[in-house]
Amino acid sequence: MHLETLKLFCDLADSHSFSKTAEKHLVSQSAVSQQLAQLELSYKCQLVTRRKRPIELTAAGQVFYRAARDILERHDQLKSELHSLEIGVDIRINVAAIFSIGMHSLNEYIKKFMIRYPNVNVHIEYFTAERIYELVLDGEVDIGIVAIPKRDKRLDVYEFEDELLVLACSPKHSLAEEKEADIHRLQFERFIAFEKEVPTRAWIDGILERYNTVVRPVMEFDNIETIKRAVEINAGVSILPQPTIIQEVASGTLRAIPFSNERFVRPTGILVRKGRAMSRATRYLLDLLRERKQ
């Protein structure tokens, strides 16, 4: 059994398609089928249910898939660590985060991590939440960080930070001098919202609905930075995580007003693919991130 055969089987299990797997590996569908048959012959069990479309793994196939993934990840880790020894640099840890968390919440964790592992390269990239789930599941990143994390049987999901949600408005807005605001004050206010596909949008809509408060969305954006710019010019108000507007509040371009009704928060979470092999440094970083702020 070769590693390439394991990789082919895992890609087949992920794509549920002989044609897509063949295309990815630059072989014919017949070659994919033959390698699968050879695996089933070697282990004397059926790994894939071929009668269904898209194809599905059998119970034995699921066991084999988990083991194959573990072998491939351990092999990649071995190559990485051997290469690190050769060039004198420790392994690289790949982290994918949504922009608002990566920019405003990760710095202190990375600084603490660097004290312990100064030679480890922590590579952070910013993506949409949807893309982060894909990257984590595909094994292309070690750790993902998103807002409003959703459960997935293929993922270990850990709580990260609960970000306080505040009313964000321009200093020119009528609510700007309030020390706190009742959420009902937003009734029919011009509102700068997240786009509907963004998980935070549904979370905030749920809060407004719970308090029977109807706002007037006048603009919708897919990221916090653009929302902040619209609020700064007094195009409307918004509800945003407090950590993401600290700089604007300090410079006086935005006001952050807490709500009097209750402490509204946006939960964030850490994503790791189940069974993923981790280096000692990666495990330490994960443990740091799980030490949530009080």
Q: What is the pLDDT averaged over residues 90-115?
A: 90
Residue 173: HSE in the Cβ half-sphere, 13 Å Cα cutoff: 28
Determine whether 243 is exposed, middle or buried from the number of CB atoms within 10 Å of its CB (0-12, 13-18, 19+). middle
The end-to-end CA distance of the chain, in Å, is: 50
What is the architecture, at CATH level 2, of domain 3-84? Answer: Orthogonal Bundle (1.10)
Fold classified for 161-267: D-Maltodextrin-Binding Protein; domain 2 (3.40.190)
Evaluate whether 3-84 and 161-267 have a shared fold: no
| pLDDT at residue number 87 | 47
Please compute the mean of the pLDDT values over residues 192-217 and round it to a whole number.
Answer: 96
Amino acid letter, 283:
R
State how beta strands 143-147 and 92-97 pair. Answer: parallel
Question: Percent of the chain at pLDDT above 70?
Answer: 95
Percent of the chain with pLDDT over 90: 71
pLDDT band at residue 293 using 50, 70 and 90 as cut-offs: very low
**CA-based angle 187:161:231, to the nearest 5?**
35
**Both structure tokens of 103:** 């920019």
Q: Which of 5-9, 82-86, 188-192, 271-275 has the lowest mean pLDDT?
A: 82-86
Superfamily of domain 90-160+272-289: Periplasmic binding protein-like II (3.40.190.10)
| Domains of the chain by residue range | 3-84, 90-160+272-289, 161-267
Average pLDDT, the chain: 91
Residue 91: closest CA among 117, 121, 125 = 121
Helix (H) or strand (E) holding 207, with range, is helix 199-210
**Does the predicted TM-score (pTM) go above 0.75?**
no
Residue pLDDT, tens place only, 245-279: 999 999 999 999 999 999 999 999 999 999 887 88
Instruction: pLDDT band for 86, please (50, 70, 90 cuts).
Output: low
